[in-house]
Structure 1
C-alpha cells in the first residue's frame, strides 16, 4: 500500500471498510463508497469536528441499482482522474486526515464497550 497513488473502495455494500481505514492510517489518498460504515464514521467525525469537513470529498456516492452502474463508473472515473491530477496536494491532505483521525481517538468508545461487555470495565 505504501507505493499506492490512490486506494479505491467502490463497494456497493460494505459493513465497514477496513482497507479504506488502512489507507487513511497510511497517509494514502483514498476514495470511499458512501455505502460503507467507514463513510458513516467519517461523516460522524466531521459532525463532531474531529475530522476536517473537506474529508467528505473522499466519499463517493454509489448506487446499489444495476441500472446505475454506468453513471457510477463515470463518477468514480472523474474522481479518480481528479485525485491523480492533483496527487501532490492529495498526499498533503491525506497526511492531514491521518493526523486528525489519530487525534480523534475514534476507537476509544468501541474499546470501552468491548471491555464493558466482557465484564472487564464498569
Structure 2
C-alpha cells in the first residue's frame, strides 16, 4: 500500500443528549441556532433545506423526550409569525454547546495521543 502524504487522518463525533430516544443532537441544535438568529423556524428550515413539518416533528420529539419546551411559535400579522426559543430551550442549547465544545477539546487531545501526526 502506497503512503499518501497529502491525506490527513481525521475523526468525527456526534453528540446526542436524551433520556429514551436520541432526539437532541446536531439537527435540532442547528435548527435552534438558526431560529435564535433568524427569529423564524420557516427561515431556519429554508436555510437547512428541510421541510417545515419535518422540523416541527423533530423538535416535538426532542421536547417529549427531554420534558421541556424548546421553542414556541407566535402567530403574526401582515409580516407573518415568529418562532423563538423558550427560556429553558435557550438554557439547554447553551449547555449543549458548552458541553460539546469541551468534548471537542478533550477528543482532539486524545485523538492526537493515539494518532500522532
TM-score (structure 1 length as normaliser)? 0.33
**Structure (1 or 2) with the larger CA radius of gyration:** 2
TM-score (structure 2 length as normaliser)? 0.34
**Greater RCO between the two (CA within 8 Å, min separation 6)?**
1
